[in-house]
Structure 1
Amino acid sequence: MLDIQTQIARLKRPPLLVNAARFGLKDYRRKTHLPRILQGPVPAKNHAVLVTLCDMESHLNSLRKTRDAAYSAARHVEVLIALIAEARRIAEVKDPN
């Protein structure tokens, strides 16, 4: 089983989604956005946040691939923004240089 950071690093998504998420990173505010994105309380452990976001993103990606009517590109982008921001946050804590 791959660790969560490796899973995130291996994500392959359309460039338009990734670019939109990168563009949105500058406006990401954890206290404001994360509870809304998770649609509930934020888990206390950072790893649990990443796992939840990975699961959400994976589900959205499968909806995208199957062209499901429930798919929302805007929702997918906001989940990707949170996923990237939270992964960076954890990486900074592990490597405080």
Structure 2
Amino acid sequence: MKDINSYINDLRRPKLLVHAARHSLAGYDRPTHLARYMPIDPVPGPGVALMKLFDLEREMNDTRLAKTGTYIPSRHIDILVAIMSESQLLRASSQPRLVFG
């Protein structure tokens, strides 16, 4: 079983999708974005959110690769933005904090 960091590090997608997602990071609004994909109140922590987002992204990527005509690039980018942002939150929350006093 993979841990979250392995999923993050192993995720490989076309450059155009990744660049579009990076460009959209500044507009990420956690409650709004996550409510689209997981109507859970309150919004789950970054670890739980990431696992759900990875499942959704995998389904979206499978649809992209199948070339069935049902693929929605903007939705895929939106999910990638959420994954990138939640990954940043997870990393920030797990870093040791220095306390001066």
TM-score higher than 0.5: yes
Residue ranges of structure 1 left out of the alignment (5+ in a row) = none
Match of 2:55 in 1: 55
Match of 2:40 in 1: 41
State TM-score, norm by structure 1: 0.89
Query: Do structure 1's residue 73 and structure 2's residue 73 form an aligned pair?
Result: yes
Moved over 3 A (4+): none
Where 1:71 maps in the other structure, the secondary structure is coil
Write the distance in 1 (CA, Å) between the matches of 2:73 and 2:5.
23
* One-letter amino acid of the counterpart of residue 54, structure 2: C
Write the distance in 2 (CA, Å) between the matches of 1:83 and 1:46.
9
Write the distance in 2 (CA, Å) between the matches of 1:9 and 1:26.
21
The offset of 1:45, in angstroms, is 3.6
Match of 1:64 in 2: 64
* One-letter amino acid of the counterpart of residue 41, structure 1: I
Q: Which moved more, 1:62-71 or 1:49-58?
A: 62-71
Where 1:74 maps in the other structure, the secondary structure is helix
Deviations 1:34-63 (A, max 9, x none): 102x15225534322111000000000010
What is the CA RMSD across the aligned residues, in angstroms? 1.5
Query: Do structure 1's residue 30 and structure 2's residue 30 form an aligned pair?
Result: yes
Work out the percentage of aligned pairs sharing the same amino acid: 34
Write the distance in 1 (CA, Å) between the matches of 2:53 and 2:5.
12
State TM-score, norm by structure 2: 0.86
* One-letter amino acid of the counterpart of residue 91, structure 2: A
* One-letter amino acid of the counterpart of residue 4, structure 1: I
